[in-house]
């Protein structure tokens, strides 16, 4: 119990002077914040203004009575709001107090800055905040076009401060406590204190805390004698010329998290809260609105005791600092009493007040002071407290611990971390103080060179373009931020919306350049089917697995698995081919020579394709179907579960051995249709593959292939010899089919777990086929009918084909297929051997392509090391002005002024409206009027007759308004439940017509 006061609520730990806060499990990290400030819409610009010593208060010129100068800190465009982003109809958003709209936006931004996506965060997130009183309800009721449809309960829900935090929890999907706080000027700092208690008590894992005070329209407050407002319009805390405070608008919110969890999660920690305390002056003062030295000192002292901090180590205090003749001296006396604690030490702590920059922001003042102090501690610079020249004669600074920080100052050197305090005093006596400290030093994650995947999403195409432009500018301006951390923050710390794009960059400059021209991709309501295409022989090259092997364990483990299942010498040879480094010229050339051997090239390709499939699956990408071309069928079957990796390798080894035992062969791609080719194909050559309507492959001995190629050239027919030294799928294999069949019968064959498209006949492989050894014997010999297989993959409609192997051979074939359309997407996993693109860039670009089309990626498995969240530009809200008269024709210049309301003065009176509409036979006219009613209550310019009222942003309260408008227009009364059961114009129209035809105006339907 503190002497002379009630018990002070407090939180904190036991950190001693100079100890790092990371040792204390009770410390709370500030991991994000957002705000709105006079003349300023975001924290970054606000901080720049503070560093520049800018005053952001607006003074109103004119010949005011008494020579006063009215002033106010005006927050820009508070009535502008992105209703669509928060799933509000414009008309519903219009009813909501702008303070609550602004605070909702701030909470969304703060979570983004903290790298927290509520939809993917498993813990509970709480909200603690308060709001100032509002006159918005009166403005709405004064709008004659709206007044007749406004309901008292609807205005209560949209304008009462009680709903501030619950609205945030509802719209952002937060499951922790939602507590609205009201302690006048100390509201938002008390909210911080309560949020910290909630975190320490385990009620939530993350907490948002803050407040908002925005008046619309902004007031022109005229000072009067004996009042608290400054006559000259300047707020001069602690100065001899101080005449009082200046009012201002603002909002602020901080994101809080227990320090150990913030460190473990890799959050960006701006500062750490070590302790806080809240109390009330009680009756120990001269009046209800007066302040008490003893009460304030008690709360301040308790905060530092609970934090375990010696006040002598505190370098700065953000005071309440209202610049009133009575308030400032009392506050400094209380701070002095708490800080000196009998030591008599003076002049060691700087003090200031952000009110000198922006005015008194009422319920938001405390958290804005906290944001300012947090930034000062983080950056080691204390902004100037403005307009201080000579101290208030009632303040004895000489014998106090404090020096007014009247100019921008580097934080004084200290043996320990930087520490500060924030003071807030509520009119009525509720005092709050928070102790904060510099974030603990942490070793930076290891730098990860190379390309990184940056992903962006938004609700609209314009917002996506704006996001890309913002991020590009940020990367250009901050080349010191690790690009891997930027990628991680975007991947895991942002909500995922319908419009998406991605870029892959190895540097800030490259990523920024790509972002400026990034296109938009829409995910659609349903994921498109995804087919893995496993390529056959021809695209192989030395070192094709090296980059992925070095970076990604899932890929590396499968490569090692394959090599471990092979004989030692063969496995070592395969490893050298796969991991060959172009920088080691001799070894790289030797690896290229080894790839000319049929057995090694087949095993090398299988290992790469099997490992690529495993990499994709480890990233959360599973195919809807698989399709392999010739050799690729083994990797496809393995991925589908038909073959084990050991069984597949056994068959690939035997396949290579048998092919190697045959005479040398060759293969020739011929650009003719199958029918045209068969008409001129020599008897000593076989049709090995039909890849396209106008592209086939023939196979046979090298001499026969060369002779046929010369004959084709003489006839002007294009052909190209393939990189093969064996005659795959030719009559030459007839001699080894029985031997291969014996080997297949030794391998376990299972039914397919993933639909598997056969490249032998083009249809899905049946369970009986998958278990039949003879299928693989036929597959070795018969023609590859890849064009038919592509038809099966493409004819199902929109889909994605991902080539799982080196190069673009199969996706190129797919692009030329007659069934290919703009609804199909082609992606590749590895570059061609002739391309200078890295393997990492190619696979990440494909991953981005899948994400952009709605696929979820296991981001944590894609990063080689744990990363950190970093502050990045937040969502570019697409705001529109939503204020009384917004939807009326008289609202010139309004973004939505073209929406015509259903106006009472243009309608027949209720007494004859029933007769008029009953007599009307034009259903089109009724439909139009009903659609107008929908549009009026929703505030939308256009709707379709089949659009669902609730999908457009309607709810039960707006349905009440819709029923009222329908009654006013048609002269009948319709029940809300009818609207709920028939929520579109087309569904509601028959009910309305029946009502008009058979019921009197007084009846209900």
320 is catalytic: yes
Looking at residue 922, what is its pLDDT? Answer: 56
Looking at residue 892, what is its pLDDT? Answer: 36
What is the three-class DSSP state of 652? helix
Residue 946 has pLDDT above 80, yes or no: yes
Structure confidence by residue, pLDDT tens digits, 964-980: 888 888 888 888 778 88
As a whole-number percent, the residues of the chain with pLDDT over 70 amount to 93
User: Cβ(979)–Cβ(963) under 8 Å?
Assistant: yes
Among 49, 193, 270, 320, the active-site one is 320
Residue 104 has pLDDT above 50, yes or no: yes
Looking at residue 235, what is its pLDDT? Answer: 97
Average pLDDT, rounded, for the chain: 89
Structure confidence by residue, pLDDT tens digits, 627-648: 999 999 999 999 999 999 999 9
- Nearest-5° Cα angle at 627, 626 to 630: 145
| 3-state secondary structure labels for all residues of 14-50 | CCCCCCCHHHCCCCEEEEEEEEEECCECCHHHHHHHH
For residue 773, give the nearest of 888, 643, 592, 619 by alpha carbon.
Answer: 643
User: Cβ(779)–Cβ(632) under 8 Å?
Assistant: no
Percent helix, percent strand, percent coil in the chain, to nearest 5 = 40, 15, 40
Q: Which helix (H) or strand (E) holds 102?
A: helix 98-113
What are the E-state strand segments in 490-558?
499-505, 521-522, 530-534
pLDDT interval class at 709 (50, 70, 90):
very high
Residue 20 has pLDDT above 80, yes or no: no
Looking at residue 147, what is its pLDDT? Answer: 73
Looking at residue 639, what is its pLDDT? Answer: 98
Residue 497 has pLDDT above 90, yes or no: yes
| 3-state secondary structure labels for all residues of 293-350 | HHHHHHHHHHHHHHHCCCHHHCCEEECCCCCCCCHHHHHHHHHHHHHHCCCCCCCCEE
Among 107, 185, 235, 499, the active-site one is 185
Residue 899 has pLDDT above 70, yes or no: no
Q: 864 vs 966, which has greater pLDDT?
A: 966
Looking at residue 595, what is its pLDDT? Answer: 84
630 is catalytic: yes
Give the pLDDT mean for 269-296. Answer: 89
Handedness of CA 719, 721, 723, 726 (dihedral sign): positive
Pairing relationship of beta strands 71-73 and 247-248 according to DSSP bridges: parallel
DSSP 463: H
Handedness of CA 802, 808, 813, 818 (dihedral sign): positive
Residue 502 has pLDDT above 50, yes or no: yes
Q: 109 vs 345, which has greater pLDDT?
A: 109
Residue appearing with tokens 């709707």: 943
Q: 167 vs 449, which has greater pLDDT?
A: 167
Looking at residue 621, what is its pLDDT? Answer: 97
Sheet holding 530-534, edge to edge: 756-757, 625-628, 530-534, 799-806, 824-830
Give the pLDDT mean for 816-841. Answer: 93
Looking at residue 667, what is its pLDDT? Answer: 93
Rounded distance between C-alpha atoms, residue 116 and residue 110, angstroms: 9
Residue 538 has pLDDT above 90, yes or no: no
How many residues are there in the chain?
Answer: 1005
Rounded distance between C-alpha atoms, residue 96 and residue 79, angstroms: 10
Looking at residue 890, what is its pLDDT? Answer: 43
Looking at residue 971, what is its pLDDT? Answer: 80
What is the three-class DSSP state of 264? helix
- Least confident range from 400-404, 444-448, 821-825: namely 444-448
Residue 731 has pLDDT above 70, yes or no: yes
Among 360, 433, 502, 629, the active-site one is 360
Looking at residue 914, what is its pLDDT? Answer: 37
For residue 826, give the nearest of 526, 454, 532, 451 by alpha carbon.
Answer: 532
Domains assigned to the chain = 24-438 (3.40.47.10), 534-541+553-664+725-853 (3.40.366.10), 665-724 (3.30.70.250), 899-998 (1.10.1200.10)
Residue 375 has pLDDT above 50, yes or no: yes
Looking at residue 321, what is its pLDDT? Answer: 95
Residue 957 has pLDDT above 90, yes or no: no
Structure confidence by residue, pLDDT tens digits, 598-628: 889 999 999 999 999 999 999 999 999 999 9
**φ/ψ of residue 351, rounded to 5:** -140, 150
Rounded distance between C-alpha atoms, residue 86 and residue 692, angstroms: 49
**pTM for the predicted model, two decimal places:** 0.86
Bridge partners of 421, per DSSP, are: 317, 435
Pairing relationship of beta strands 499-505 and 521-522 according to DSSP bridges: antiparallel
Q: How far is CA 4 from CA 10, 282, 296, 335, in A?
A: 17, 9, 11, 17
User: Cβ(209)–Cβ(192) under 8 Å?
Assistant: yes
Q: Which helix (H) or strand (E) holds 424?
A: strand 419-425
Residue 526 has pLDDT above 90, yes or no: no
- Least confident range from 219-223, 390-394, 505-509, 953-957: namely 953-957
**Judging by beta carbons within 10 Å of its beta carbon (0-12, 13-18, 19+), is residue 764 exposed, middle or buried?**
middle
Give the pLDDT mean for 777-799. Answer: 95
Q: 23 vs 254, which has greater pLDDT?
A: 254
What are the E-state strand segments in 175-265?
178-180, 206-213, 247-248, 250-258
Most confident segment among 337-351, 353-367, 405-419, 832-846: 353-367
**φ/ψ of residue 131, rounded to 5:** -135, 155
Among 188, 630, 699, 888, the active-site one is 630
pLDDT interval class at 785 (50, 70, 90):
very high
């Amino acid at each position: 119990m503190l002497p002379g006061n009630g018990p002070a609520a407090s939180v904190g730990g036991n950190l001693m002077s100079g100890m790092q806060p990371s040792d204390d499990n009770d410390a709370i990290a500030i991991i994000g914040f957002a705000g709105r400030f006079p003349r300023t819409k975001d924290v970054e610009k606000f901080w720049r203004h503070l560093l520049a010593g800018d005053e952001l208060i607006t003074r109103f010129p004119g010949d005011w009575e008494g020579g006063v100068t009215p002033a106010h800190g005006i927050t820009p465009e508070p009535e502008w709001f992105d209703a669509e982003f928060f799933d509000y109809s414009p008309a519903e958003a219009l009813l909501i107090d702008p303070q609550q709209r602004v605070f909702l936006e701030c909470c969304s931004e703060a979570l983004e800055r903290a790298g927290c996506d509520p939809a993917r965060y498993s813990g509970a997130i709480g909200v603690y905040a308060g709001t100032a009183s509002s006159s918005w309800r009166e403005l709405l009721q004064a709008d004659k076009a709206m007044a007749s449809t406004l309901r008292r309960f609807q205005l209560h829900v949209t304008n009462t401060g009680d709903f501030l935090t619950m609205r945030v929890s509802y719209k952002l999907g937060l499951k922790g406590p939602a507590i609205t706080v009201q302690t006048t000027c100390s509201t938002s700092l008390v909210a911080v204190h309560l949020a910290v208690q909630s975190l320490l008590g385990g009620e939530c894992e993350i907490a948002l805390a803050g407040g908002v005070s925005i008046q619309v329209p902004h007031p022109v407050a005229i000072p009067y004698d004996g009042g608290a407002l400054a006559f000259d319009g300047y707020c001069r805390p602690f100065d001899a010329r101080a005449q009082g405070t200046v009012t201002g608008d603002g909002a602020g919110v901080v994101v809080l998290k227990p320090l150990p969890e913030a460190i473990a999660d890799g959050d960006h920690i701006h500062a750490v809260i070590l302790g806080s305390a809240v109390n009330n002056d009680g009756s120990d003062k001269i009046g209800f609105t007066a302040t008490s030295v003893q009460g304030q000192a008690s709360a301040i002292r308790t905060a530092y005791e609970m934090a375990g901090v010696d006040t002598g180590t505190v370098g700065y205090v953000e005071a309440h600092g209202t610049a009133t003749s009575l308030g400032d001296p009392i506050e400094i006396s209380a701070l002095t009493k708490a800080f000196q604690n009998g030591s008599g030490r003076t002049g060691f702590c700087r003090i200031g007040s952000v009110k000198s920059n922006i005015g008194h922001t009422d319920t938001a003042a405390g958290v804005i002071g906290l944001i300012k102090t947090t930034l000062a501690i983080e950056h080691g610079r204390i902004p100037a407290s403005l307009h201080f020249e000579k101290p208030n004669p009632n303040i004895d600074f000489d014998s106090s611990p404090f020096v007014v920080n009247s100019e921008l100052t580097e934080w004084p050197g200290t043996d320990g971390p930087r520490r500060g305090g924030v003071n807030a005093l509520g009119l009525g006596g509720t005092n709050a103080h928070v102790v904060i400290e510099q974030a603990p030093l942490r070793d930076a994650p290891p730098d990860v060179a190379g390309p990184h995947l940056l992903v962006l999403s938004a609700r609209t195409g314009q917002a996506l373009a704006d996001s890309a432009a913002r991020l590009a500018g940020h990367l250009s301006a901050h080349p010191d931020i690790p690009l891997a951390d930027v990628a991680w923050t975007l991947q895991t710390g942002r909500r995922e919306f319908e419009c998406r794009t991605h870029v892959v960059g190895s540097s800030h400059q490259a990523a920024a350049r790509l972002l400026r021209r990034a296109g938009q991709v829409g995910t659609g309501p349903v994921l498109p089917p995804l087919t893995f295409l496993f390529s056959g022989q021809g695209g192989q090259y030395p070192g094709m697995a090296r980059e992925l092997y070095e970076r990604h364990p899932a890929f590396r483990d499968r490569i090692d698995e394959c090599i471990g299942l092979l004989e030692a010498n063969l496995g070592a040879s395969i490893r050298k081919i796969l991991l060959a480094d172009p920088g080691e010229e001799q070894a790289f050339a030797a690896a290229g020579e080894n790839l000319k051997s049929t057995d090694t090239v087949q095993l090398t390709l299988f290992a790469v394709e099997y490992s690529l499939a495993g990499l994709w699956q480890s990233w959360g990408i599973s195919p809807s179907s698989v399709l392999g071309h010739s050799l690729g069928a083994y990797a496809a079957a393995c991925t589908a579960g038909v073959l084990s990796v050991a069984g597949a390798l056994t068959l690939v080894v035997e396949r290579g051995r048998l092919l190697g035992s045959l005479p040398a062969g060759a293969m020739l791609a011929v650009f003719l249709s199958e029918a045209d080719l068969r008409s001129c194909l020599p008897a000593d050559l076989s049709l090995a593959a039909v890849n396209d309507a106008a592209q086939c492959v023939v196979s046979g001995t090298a001499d026969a292939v060369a002779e046929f190629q010369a004959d084709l050239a003489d006839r002007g027919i294009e052909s190209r010899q393939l990189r093969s030294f064996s005659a795959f799928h030719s009559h030459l294999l007839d001699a080894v089919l029985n031997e291969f069949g014996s080997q297949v019968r030794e391998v376990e064959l299972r039914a397919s777990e993933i639909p598997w498209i056969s490249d032998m006949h083009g249809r899905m492989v049946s369970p009986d086929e998958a278990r039949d050894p003879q299928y693989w014997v036929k597959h070795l010999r018969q023609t590859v009918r890849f064009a038919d297989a592509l038809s099966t993959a493409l004819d199902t409609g929109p889909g994605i084909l991902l080539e799982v192997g080196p190069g673009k051979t199969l996706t190129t074939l797919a692009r030329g297929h007659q069934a290919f359309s703009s609804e199909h997407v082609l992606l590749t996993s590895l570059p061609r051997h002739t391309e200078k693109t890295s393997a990492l860039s190619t696979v990440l670009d494909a991953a981005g392509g899948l994400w952009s089309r709605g696929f979820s990626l296991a981001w944590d498995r894609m990063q080689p090391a744990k990363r950190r969240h970093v502050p990045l530009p937040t969502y570019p809200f697409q705001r529109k002005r939503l204020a009384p008269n917004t939807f009326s024709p008289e609202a010139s210049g309004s973004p939505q002024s073209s929406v015509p309301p259903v106006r009472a003065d243009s309608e027949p009176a209720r007494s004859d409206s029933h007769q008029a509409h009953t007599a009307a036979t034009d259903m089109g006219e009724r439909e139009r009027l009903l659609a107008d009613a929908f549009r009026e209550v929703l505030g939308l310019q256009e709707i379709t007759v089949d659009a669902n009222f609730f999908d457009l942003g309607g709810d039960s309260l707006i349905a009440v308004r819709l029923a009222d408008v329908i009654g006013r227009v048609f002269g009948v009364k319709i029940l809300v439940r009818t609207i709920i059961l028939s929520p579109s114009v087309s569904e509601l129209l028959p009910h309305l017509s029946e009502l008009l035809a058979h019921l009197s105006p007084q009846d209900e339907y």
